[in-house]
């Protein structure tokens, strides 16, 4: 199995794949749009890789950080979560927002993933518990998770949609009080 690649990003392809040239051999890898945007064609890359073997193909999923690969592997270990859905979840949420969503039972954050409705999001919350590596499961402590739950509820009551709430929570400093965190979230939302 291939665990990592170090080489030059020689091409970006339109189907969220890229070619990493390692010593004259081009490896086609699947990456999230965020990861693809972070690297330039011609630049040296060092990516963590998950080798996925299917009956009809061997697919390489590449990540800029080993932590993302670990999260991906935890996701595909859950029943009903394949590589395509796992990549969509990471592209939408990323490891930090995903672990926070799991810790706070945030169905709305998972609903922001394309193709995931409320029933699927609720099922994913149940299925993903205990599937992520332990270092990914503790976002910022119980107090931080509690602050996020309170702020999420308040923003939802004020009529903000799931995507707006997710965006505000991404920038939230959850070490402060609920009132201060809510003020911060409202400032973030007012800047749009």
| For residues 85-107, average pLDDT | 86
- Report domain extents, the chain: 4-64, 81-137, 141-190
pLDDT computed for residue 101 by the predictor: 82
Buried b (16+ CB within 10 A) or exposed e, 145-183: bebbbbbbebbeeeebebebbbbbbeebebeeebeebbe
Average pLDDT, the chain: 85
Judge whether residue 143 has pLDDT over 60.
no
Indicate the DSSP class of residue 6: E
Judge whether residue 145 has pLDDT over 50.
yes
pLDDT computed for residue 89 by the predictor: 93
49 within 8 A of 29, measured Cβ to Cβ = yes
Residue of higher predicted confidence among 170 and 85 = 85
Judge whether residue 135 has pLDDT over 70.
no
- Return the beta strands (E) in 4-102 as ranges: 4-13, 17-22, 25-30, 44-53, 58-63
Indicate the DSSP class of residue 26: E
Q: Tokens in use for 129? A: 């518990």
Taking phi first (over 0 means left), then psi (-120 to 50 degrees means alpha), and beta for anything else, what does residue 59 get?
A: beta
Per-residue pLDDT band at 190 (split at 50, 70, 90): confident
User: Strands 25-30 and 58-63, how do they pair?
Assistant: parallel
Each residue of 45-81: pLDDT tens digit?
Answer: 999 999 999 899 999 999 999 989 999 998 998 888 8
pLDDT computed for residue 144 by the predictor: 60
- Helix, strand or coil, per DSSP, at residue 171: coil
Domain 81-137, CATH homologous superfamily name and number: 5' to 3' exonuclease, C-terminal subdomain (1.10.150.20)
Judge whether residue 139 has pLDDT over 60.
no
17 within 8 A of 27, measured Cβ to Cβ = no
User: Strands 58-63 and 17-22, how do they pair?
Assistant: unpaired
Judge whether residue 31 has pLDDT over 50.
yes
pLDDT computed for residue 52 by the predictor: 93
Each residue of 151-173: pLDDT tens digit?
Answer: 877 888 888 887 788 788 778 87
Instruction: For residues 192 and 180, give the distance between their C-alpha atoms in angstroms, rounded to a whole number.
Output: 20
Domain 4-64, CATH homologous superfamily name and number: Nucleic acid-binding proteins (2.40.50.140)
pTM strictly above 0.75:
no
């Amino acid at each position: 199995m291939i665990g990592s690649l170090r080489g030059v990003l020689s091409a970006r392809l339109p189907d969220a794949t890229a070619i990493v040239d390692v010593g004259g051999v081009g490896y086609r890898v699947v990456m999230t749009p965020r990861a693809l945007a972070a690297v330039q064609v011609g630049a040296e890359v060092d990516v963590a890789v998950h080798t996925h073997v299917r009956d009809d193909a061997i697919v390489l999923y590449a990540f800029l950080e080993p932590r993302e690969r670990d999260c991906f592997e935890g996701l595909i270990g859950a029943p009903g979560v394949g590589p395509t859905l796992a990549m969509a979840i990471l592209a939408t949420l990323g490891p930090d927002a995903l672990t926070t969503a799991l810790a706070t039972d945030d169905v709305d954050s998972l609903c922001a993933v394309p193709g995931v409705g409320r029933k699927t999001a609720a099922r994913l919350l149940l299925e993903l518990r205990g599937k992520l590596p332990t270092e990914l499961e503790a976002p910022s402590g119980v107090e931080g998770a509690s602050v996020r739950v309170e702020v999420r509820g308040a923003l939802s009551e004020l009529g903000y949609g799931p995507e707006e709430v997710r965006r505000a929570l991404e920038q939230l400093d959850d070490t402060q009080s609920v009132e201060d965190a809510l003020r911060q979230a409202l400032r973030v939302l007012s800047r749009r």
